[in-house]
Structure 1
Amino acid sequence: MLKFKLHYDKDVEEDWLKKMCLDGWAFKKFFLGFYTFEKCEPGEFNYQIDLLDNWNGKKDDYSAFMEDTGVKVIDQWWRWVYLRKRASEGTFEMYTDVDSKITHYTKIKNFFKVALVIEILCFFMELLAAINTGHYIFGIFAALLAVISLAILEIIWKCNWRIEQYKRDKDM
Protein backbone atom coordinates (compact mmCIF):
# COMPACT_ATOMS: atom_id res chain seq x y z
CA MET A 1 0.00 0.00 0.00
CA LEU A 2 1.21 3.50 -0.83
CA LYS A 3 0.10 6.52 1.21
CA PHE A 4 0.96 10.18 0.85
CA LYS A 5 1.21 12.21 4.02
CA LEU A 6 3.27 15.22 5.03
CA HIS A 7 4.59 15.18 8.58
CA TYR A 8 6.72 17.86 10.11
CA ASP A 9 6.57 16.60 13.70
CA LYS A 10 8.51 13.38 14.23
CA ASP A 11 6.47 12.42 17.31
CA VAL A 12 3.20 12.69 15.36
CA GLU A 13 4.78 10.71 12.51
CA GLU A 14 5.92 7.95 14.90
CA ASP A 15 2.41 7.73 16.38
CA TRP A 16 0.94 7.46 12.88
CA LEU A 17 3.37 4.67 11.92
CA LYS A 18 2.47 2.80 15.13
CA LYS A 19 -1.25 3.20 14.38
CA MET A 20 -0.75 1.91 10.83
CA CYS A 21 1.04 -1.13 12.27
CA LEU A 22 -1.79 -1.71 14.75
CA ASP A 23 -4.08 -1.75 11.69
CA GLY A 24 -1.87 -4.45 10.13
CA TRP A 25 0.40 -2.34 7.91
CA ALA A 26 4.18 -2.39 8.45
CA PHE A 27 6.16 0.61 7.24
CA LYS A 28 8.58 -0.36 4.48
CA LYS A 29 9.86 2.74 2.64
CA PHE A 30 9.67 6.53 2.53
CA PHE A 31 10.32 9.11 -0.19
CA LEU A 32 9.12 12.73 -0.28
CA GLY A 33 5.92 12.16 1.65
CA PHE A 34 5.13 8.79 0.09
CA TYR A 35 5.04 5.92 2.58
CA THR A 36 5.06 2.32 1.40
CA PHE A 37 3.49 -0.31 3.66
CA GLU A 38 3.22 -4.09 3.56
CA LYS A 39 0.83 -6.38 5.39
CA CYS A 40 1.88 -7.55 8.85
CA GLU A 41 0.37 -8.88 12.03
CA PRO A 42 -1.42 -6.04 13.82
CA GLY A 43 0.95 -4.42 16.31
CA GLU A 44 3.93 -6.52 15.19
CA PHE A 45 6.39 -3.60 15.27
CA ASN A 46 7.24 -0.46 17.21
CA TYR A 47 8.75 2.51 15.40
CA GLN A 48 11.15 5.32 16.23
CA ILE A 49 12.55 8.11 14.10
CA ASP A 50 16.04 9.42 14.77
CA LEU A 51 18.00 12.39 13.47
CA LEU A 52 21.60 11.58 12.59
CA ASP A 53 24.32 13.96 13.73
CA ASN A 54 25.50 14.35 10.15
CA TRP A 55 24.20 13.13 6.81
CA ASN A 56 27.41 12.10 5.12
CA GLY A 57 28.90 10.11 7.95
CA LYS A 58 29.07 6.48 8.94
CA LYS A 59 25.56 5.27 8.12
CA ASP A 60 26.74 1.67 7.85
CA ASP A 61 28.19 1.79 11.38
CA TYR A 62 24.93 3.23 12.68
CA SER A 63 22.91 0.49 10.94
CA ALA A 64 25.22 -2.26 12.24
CA PHE A 65 25.00 -0.89 15.79
CA MET A 66 21.21 -0.71 15.61
CA GLU A 67 20.91 -4.24 14.25
CA ASP A 68 23.15 -5.49 17.08
CA THR A 69 20.53 -4.14 19.50
CA GLY A 70 17.66 -5.82 17.65
CA VAL A 71 16.58 -2.66 15.84
CA LYS A 72 16.18 -2.62 12.06
CA VAL A 73 16.90 0.48 10.00
CA ILE A 74 13.92 0.61 7.64
CA ASP A 75 14.82 3.65 5.60
CA GLN A 76 16.74 6.90 5.67
CA TRP A 77 15.76 10.22 4.19
CA TRP A 78 18.62 12.66 4.38
CA ARG A 79 19.45 12.82 8.13
CA TRP A 80 16.18 11.22 9.29
CA VAL A 81 16.34 7.50 10.01
CA TYR A 82 13.28 5.26 10.34
CA LEU A 83 13.73 2.39 12.78
CA ARG A 84 11.61 -0.50 13.92
CA LYS A 85 11.77 -3.27 16.46
CA ARG A 86 9.50 -6.25 16.94
CA ALA A 87 6.94 -5.51 19.64
CA SER A 88 7.45 -9.04 21.00
CA GLU A 89 11.01 -8.01 21.97
CA GLY A 90 9.75 -5.37 24.41
CA THR A 91 9.38 -1.62 24.39
CA PHE A 92 11.35 0.45 21.96
CA GLU A 93 12.51 3.87 23.06
CA MET A 94 15.72 5.35 21.68
CA TYR A 95 16.15 8.01 24.34
CA THR A 96 15.24 6.84 27.82
CA ASP A 97 16.89 9.27 30.25
CA VAL A 98 16.10 12.96 30.60
CA ASP A 99 19.53 14.20 29.46
CA SER A 100 19.45 12.18 26.24
CA LYS A 101 15.91 13.42 25.50
CA ILE A 102 17.03 17.02 26.03
CA THR A 103 20.01 16.45 23.72
CA HIS A 104 17.78 14.79 21.10
CA TYR A 105 15.22 17.61 21.00
CA THR A 106 17.97 20.23 21.05
CA LYS A 107 19.49 18.57 17.98
CA ILE A 108 16.10 18.61 16.23
CA LYS A 109 15.51 22.24 17.24
CA ASN A 110 18.91 23.31 15.89
CA PHE A 111 18.30 21.42 12.64
CA PHE A 112 15.03 23.27 12.12
CA LYS A 113 16.54 26.64 13.11
CA VAL A 114 18.83 26.36 10.09
CA ALA A 115 15.87 25.42 7.91
CA LEU A 116 13.91 28.41 9.26
CA VAL A 117 16.69 30.86 8.37
CA ILE A 118 16.82 29.46 4.83
CA GLU A 119 13.01 29.63 4.45
CA ILE A 120 12.88 33.21 5.73
CA LEU A 121 15.61 34.27 3.30
CA CYS A 122 13.72 32.62 0.44
CA PHE A 123 10.49 34.29 1.61
CA PHE A 124 12.07 37.76 1.47
CA MET A 125 13.57 37.07 -1.96
CA GLU A 126 10.15 36.03 -3.30
CA LEU A 127 8.47 38.98 -1.61
CA LEU A 128 10.96 41.40 -3.18
CA ALA A 129 10.44 39.76 -6.56
CA ALA A 130 6.68 40.15 -6.17
CA ILE A 131 7.03 43.81 -5.23
CA ASN A 132 9.58 44.62 -7.95
CA THR A 133 7.91 42.77 -10.82
CA GLY A 134 4.29 42.98 -9.79
CA HIS A 135 3.77 39.36 -10.83
CA TYR A 136 1.31 37.57 -8.58
CA ILE A 137 3.10 34.23 -8.93
CA PHE A 138 5.97 35.54 -6.79
CA GLY A 139 3.40 36.63 -4.20
CA ILE A 140 1.91 33.13 -4.18
CA PHE A 141 5.36 31.62 -3.62
CA ALA A 142 6.07 34.17 -0.88
CA ALA A 143 2.82 33.22 0.86
CA LEU A 144 3.69 29.52 0.56
CA LEU A 145 7.14 30.14 2.03
CA ALA A 146 5.55 32.12 4.87
CA VAL A 147 3.30 29.14 5.70
CA ILE A 148 6.29 26.78 5.60
CA SER A 149 8.23 29.15 7.86
CA LEU A 150 5.37 29.20 10.36
CA ALA A 151 5.23 25.39 10.36
CA ILE A 152 8.98 25.23 11.02
CA LEU A 153 8.60 27.83 13.76
CA GLU A 154 5.95 25.60 15.35
CA ILE A 155 8.37 22.66 15.36
CA ILE A 156 11.02 24.81 17.04
CA TRP A 157 8.48 25.96 19.60
CA LYS A 158 7.39 22.35 20.32
CA CYS A 159 11.01 21.27 20.74
CA ASN A 160 11.63 24.18 23.10
CA TRP A 161 8.51 23.26 25.07
CA ARG A 162 9.61 19.61 25.36
CA ILE A 163 13.13 20.61 26.39
CA GLU A 164 11.78 22.91 29.10
CA GLN A 165 9.44 20.15 30.29
CA TYR A 166 12.32 17.68 30.54
CA LYS A 167 14.47 20.23 32.36
CA ARG A 168 11.67 20.79 34.91
CA ASP A 169 11.32 17.01 35.35
CA LYS A 170 15.07 16.76 35.88
CA ASP A 171 15.05 19.48 38.53
CA MET A 172 12.29 17.77 40.52
Structure 2
Amino acid sequence: MRKYRYFGALLDTQEKWLNKMASNGYKFIRVEKLLYEFEKCQPNSYVYKIDFVASKSKSKSEDYKSFLEGLGYKVFYKNINLNYSVGKIRVRPWAEKGGRVATNMGGTFNKELLIVEKKADGKPFELHTDLEDKISYAKTIRNSWLTLFALCIFIFALQFIDKPEISLGIIVALIIAILLLFPISLYQRQVIKYTNEKRTNE
Protein backbone atom coordinates (compact mmCIF):
# COMPACT_ATOMS: atom_id res chain seq x y z
CA MET A 1 0.00 0.00 0.00
CA ARG A 2 1.25 3.47 -0.87
CA LYS A 3 0.50 6.72 0.91
CA TYR A 4 1.59 10.19 -0.10
CA ARG A 5 2.22 12.61 2.73
CA TYR A 6 4.37 15.64 3.49
CA PHE A 7 5.09 16.39 7.15
CA GLY A 8 8.04 18.74 6.77
CA ALA A 9 9.55 19.35 10.19
CA LEU A 10 6.49 18.09 12.11
CA LEU A 11 8.42 15.21 13.65
CA ASP A 12 5.85 14.23 16.29
CA THR A 13 2.99 14.25 13.76
CA GLN A 14 4.92 12.02 11.37
CA GLU A 15 5.90 9.65 14.19
CA LYS A 16 2.32 9.36 15.46
CA TRP A 17 1.04 8.68 11.94
CA LEU A 18 3.58 5.89 11.34
CA ASN A 19 2.71 4.29 14.67
CA LYS A 20 -1.00 4.57 13.90
CA MET A 21 -0.40 2.78 10.58
CA ALA A 22 1.54 0.07 12.45
CA SER A 23 -1.23 -0.32 15.02
CA ASN A 24 -3.66 -0.84 12.11
CA GLY A 25 -1.46 -3.60 10.69
CA TYR A 26 0.78 -1.83 8.20
CA LYS A 27 4.56 -2.18 8.32
CA PHE A 28 6.58 0.64 6.82
CA ILE A 29 8.97 -0.67 4.11
CA ARG A 30 10.06 2.18 1.82
CA VAL A 31 10.18 5.96 1.67
CA GLU A 32 10.77 8.66 -0.94
CA LYS A 33 10.23 12.42 -0.79
CA LEU A 34 6.43 12.19 -0.57
CA LEU A 35 5.89 8.44 -0.71
CA TYR A 36 5.48 6.04 2.21
CA GLU A 37 5.07 2.38 1.25
CA PHE A 38 3.61 -0.24 3.60
CA GLU A 39 2.94 -3.95 3.65
CA LYS A 40 0.40 -5.84 5.74
CA CYS A 41 1.51 -7.22 9.10
CA GLN A 42 0.02 -8.15 12.43
CA PRO A 43 -1.35 -5.03 14.15
CA ASN A 44 0.96 -3.49 16.77
CA SER A 45 3.97 -5.50 15.58
CA TYR A 46 6.25 -2.49 15.10
CA VAL A 47 7.06 0.81 16.76
CA TYR A 48 8.56 3.86 15.05
CA LYS A 49 10.64 6.84 16.14
CA ILE A 50 11.69 9.89 14.13
CA ASP A 51 15.15 11.28 14.82
CA PHE A 52 16.41 14.68 13.66
CA VAL A 53 19.98 14.33 12.29
CA ALA A 54 20.28 17.43 10.10
CA SER A 55 22.87 18.89 12.49
CA LYS A 56 25.29 15.99 11.97
CA SER A 57 28.01 15.76 9.36
CA LYS A 58 27.60 13.11 6.65
CA SER A 59 30.06 10.73 8.35
CA LYS A 60 28.49 11.16 11.81
CA SER A 61 25.02 10.68 10.38
CA GLU A 62 26.07 7.46 8.67
CA ASP A 63 27.89 6.25 11.81
CA TYR A 64 24.79 6.93 13.90
CA LYS A 65 22.60 5.09 11.39
CA SER A 66 24.99 2.11 11.47
CA PHE A 67 24.99 2.19 15.28
CA LEU A 68 21.19 2.00 15.39
CA GLU A 69 21.17 -0.81 12.85
CA GLY A 70 23.72 -2.62 15.02
CA LEU A 71 21.17 -2.50 17.84
CA GLY A 72 18.74 -4.42 15.62
CA TYR A 73 16.66 -1.48 14.40
CA LYS A 74 15.71 -0.88 10.78
CA VAL A 75 16.61 2.67 9.76
CA PHE A 76 15.54 4.84 6.81
CA TYR A 77 16.68 8.33 5.80
CA LYS A 78 13.86 10.85 5.27
CA ASN A 79 13.80 14.39 3.92
CA ILE A 80 12.36 17.47 5.58
CA ASN A 81 12.70 19.58 2.44
CA LEU A 82 10.87 19.15 -0.83
CA ASN A 83 13.62 19.65 -3.37
CA TYR A 84 13.90 17.97 -6.75
CA SER A 85 16.75 20.00 -8.24
CA VAL A 86 20.41 19.03 -8.51
CA GLY A 87 23.43 20.66 -6.94
CA LYS A 88 21.69 22.44 -4.07
CA ILE A 89 23.64 23.68 -1.06
CA ARG A 90 22.09 24.53 2.29
CA VAL A 91 23.84 26.41 5.11
CA ARG A 92 22.97 25.30 8.65
CA PRO A 93 24.62 27.70 11.12
CA TRP A 94 23.01 25.89 14.06
CA ALA A 95 24.57 22.51 13.16
CA GLU A 96 27.72 20.95 14.57
CA LYS A 97 31.04 21.37 12.76
CA GLY A 98 31.01 19.33 9.57
CA GLY A 99 27.23 19.58 9.20
CA ARG A 100 26.91 23.33 8.65
CA VAL A 101 26.96 23.00 4.87
CA ALA A 102 24.76 20.30 3.35
CA THR A 103 24.57 19.31 -0.30
CA ASN A 104 22.54 16.73 -2.20
CA MET A 105 25.64 15.60 -4.08
CA GLY A 106 26.73 12.89 -1.66
CA GLY A 107 25.95 15.03 1.39
CA THR A 108 23.17 15.19 3.97
CA PHE A 109 20.73 17.41 2.06
CA ASN A 110 17.29 15.70 2.05
CA LYS A 111 18.53 13.25 4.70
CA GLU A 112 17.55 15.37 7.68
CA LEU A 113 15.57 12.67 9.48
CA LEU A 114 15.90 9.03 10.39
CA ILE A 115 12.84 6.81 10.63
CA VAL A 116 13.76 4.09 13.11
CA GLU A 117 11.76 0.85 13.27
CA LYS A 118 11.74 -1.53 16.22
CA LYS A 119 9.81 -4.77 16.63
CA ALA A 120 7.26 -4.25 19.35
CA ASP A 121 8.30 -6.21 22.44
CA GLY A 122 6.53 -4.26 25.18
CA LYS A 123 9.75 -2.54 26.26
CA PRO A 124 10.17 1.27 26.14
CA PHE A 125 11.58 2.59 22.89
CA GLU A 126 13.60 5.78 23.30
CA LEU A 127 16.50 6.99 21.18
CA HIS A 128 17.51 9.70 23.63
CA THR A 129 17.46 8.42 27.21
CA ASP A 130 20.25 10.36 28.95
CA LEU A 131 19.05 13.79 30.19
CA GLU A 132 22.13 15.55 28.82
CA ASP A 133 21.44 13.96 25.43
CA LYS A 134 17.77 14.99 25.57
CA ILE A 135 18.75 18.58 26.39
CA SER A 136 21.23 18.71 23.52
CA TYR A 137 18.75 17.15 21.09
CA ALA A 138 15.94 19.57 22.02
CA LYS A 139 18.34 22.53 21.74
CA THR A 140 19.44 21.44 18.27
CA ILE A 141 15.87 21.30 16.96
CA ARG A 142 14.96 24.56 18.75
CA ASN A 143 17.97 26.29 17.20
CA SER A 144 17.01 25.14 13.70
CA TRP A 145 13.61 26.80 14.16
CA LEU A 146 15.27 29.87 15.70
CA THR A 147 17.41 30.23 12.58
CA LEU A 148 14.29 30.31 10.39
CA PHE A 149 12.68 32.78 12.80
CA ALA A 150 15.71 35.08 12.63
CA LEU A 151 15.66 34.87 8.82
CA CYS A 152 11.99 35.87 8.73
CA ILE A 153 12.63 38.81 11.06
CA PHE A 154 15.57 39.84 8.87
CA ILE A 155 13.39 39.72 5.74
CA PHE A 156 10.67 41.62 7.61
CA ALA A 157 13.19 44.33 8.60
CA LEU A 158 14.61 44.60 5.07
CA GLN A 159 11.12 44.92 3.58
CA PHE A 160 10.11 47.53 6.13
CA ILE A 161 13.31 49.58 5.77
CA ASP A 162 13.04 49.50 1.98
CA LYS A 163 9.36 50.41 2.03
CA PRO A 164 8.14 51.55 5.47
CA GLU A 165 4.52 50.62 4.93
CA ILE A 166 2.47 47.47 5.23
CA SER A 167 3.00 45.29 2.17
CA LEU A 168 2.26 41.66 1.29
CA GLY A 169 5.93 40.70 1.82
CA ILE A 170 5.95 42.23 5.31
CA ILE A 171 2.68 40.50 6.25
CA VAL A 172 3.88 37.09 5.00
CA ALA A 173 7.25 37.36 6.79
CA LEU A 174 5.51 38.42 10.01
CA ILE A 175 2.94 35.61 9.85
CA ILE A 176 5.65 32.99 9.24
CA ALA A 177 7.73 34.40 12.12
CA ILE A 178 4.73 34.20 14.46
CA LEU A 179 3.98 30.61 13.40
CA LEU A 180 7.62 29.66 14.03
CA LEU A 181 7.25 30.73 17.65
CA PHE A 182 5.14 27.62 18.31
CA PRO A 183 7.81 24.97 17.59
CA ILE A 184 10.46 27.22 19.19
CA SER A 185 8.43 27.41 22.41
CA LEU A 186 7.68 23.66 22.27
CA TYR A 187 11.35 22.67 22.17
CA GLN A 188 12.33 25.41 24.62
CA ARG A 189 9.87 23.91 27.11
CA GLN A 190 11.55 20.54 26.58
CA VAL A 191 14.96 22.10 27.25
CA ILE A 192 13.67 23.64 30.48
CA LYS A 193 11.94 20.41 31.52
CA TYR A 194 15.02 18.20 31.02
CA THR A 195 17.31 20.82 32.57
CA ASN A 196 15.13 20.94 35.69
CA GLU A 197 15.09 17.13 35.86
CA LYS A 198 18.87 17.07 35.61
CA ARG A 199 19.22 19.58 38.44
CA THR A 200 16.81 17.54 40.56
CA ASN A 201 18.85 14.40 40.00
CA GLU A 202 22.17 16.05 40.85
- Shorter-chain TM band: 0.7 to 0.9
How far did 1:155 drift?
Answer: 0.8
Q: Which structure shows the bigger proportion of residues in helix conformation? A: 1
Change (3 A) 1:13 1:76: closer
Question: Given that residues 109 and 155 in structure 1 are in contact (C-alpha distance below 8 angstroms), is that contact kept between their aligned partners in structure 2?
Answer: yes
Q: State percent identity of aligned pairs.
A: 23
Q: For residue 151 of structure 1, what is the amino acid of its counterpart?
A: L
Match of 1:83 among 116, 124, 132: 116
- What is the aligned length? 165
**CA spacing shift, 1:72–1:119, aligned 2, 3 Å:** farther
Counterpart residue number, 1:25: 26
Name the SS for the 1:70 alignment partner.
coil
Mapping of residues 63-82 of structure 1, within 5 Å: 63-77=65-79, 78=110, 79-82=112-115
Supply the distance in 2 between the matched residues of 1:96 and 1:152 (Cα, whole angstroms).
Answer: 27
**Residue 174 of structure 2 aligns to which amino acid in structure 1?**
A
* Cα contact 2:7–2:13 (8 A) shared by 1: no
Question: How far apart are residue 111 of structure 1 and its match?
Answer: 1.7
Counterpart secondary structure, 1:105: helix
The two structures have a TM-score, normalised by structure 2, of 0.67
Residue 98 (structure 1) shift:
1.9
Residues 23, 43 of structure 1: 8 Å contact kept: yes
Q: How do 1:69-148 and structure 2 match up within 5 A?
A: 69-77=71-79, 78=110, 79-88=112-121, 90-125=123-158, 131=163, 139=168, 142-148=170-176
Aligned to 1:166: 194
The alpha-carbon distance between structure 1 residues 89 and 35, as it changes in their structure 2 partners (threshold 3 A), is: farther
Q: CA deviation at 1:68?
A: 0.3
The amino acid across from 1:65 in the alignment is F
Q: Distance in 2 between matches of 1:128 and 1:72?
A: 51
Deviation at 1:125, TM superposition (A): 4.8
Distance in structure 2 (CA, Å) of the matches to 1:118 and 1:26: 39
- Alpha-carbon offset, residue 61 of structure 1: 2.2
CA distance in 2, matches of 1:81, 1:11: 13
Structure 2: which 5+ runs fail to align? Answer: 80-109
Matched AA of 1:69? L
User: What SS does the aligned partner of 1:166 have?
Assistant: helix
- TM-score where L is the length of structure 1: 0.77
Which amino acid in 2 is paired with 1:10? L
Alpha-carbon distance, 1:118 to partner: 2.1
**Partner Cα distance (2:146, 2:160) in 1:** 21
Equivalent residue number for residue 184 of structure 2: 156
The letter of the residue matching 2:117 is: R
Contact 2:135 2:194 in 1 (8 A): yes
Shift of the 148–44 alpha-carbon distance from structure 1 to 2, 3 Å rule, reads farther
- In structure 2, do the counterparts of structure 1 residues 150 and 40 end up closer, same or farther at CA, with 3 Å as the change threshold? farther
5+ residue gaps, structure 1, are none
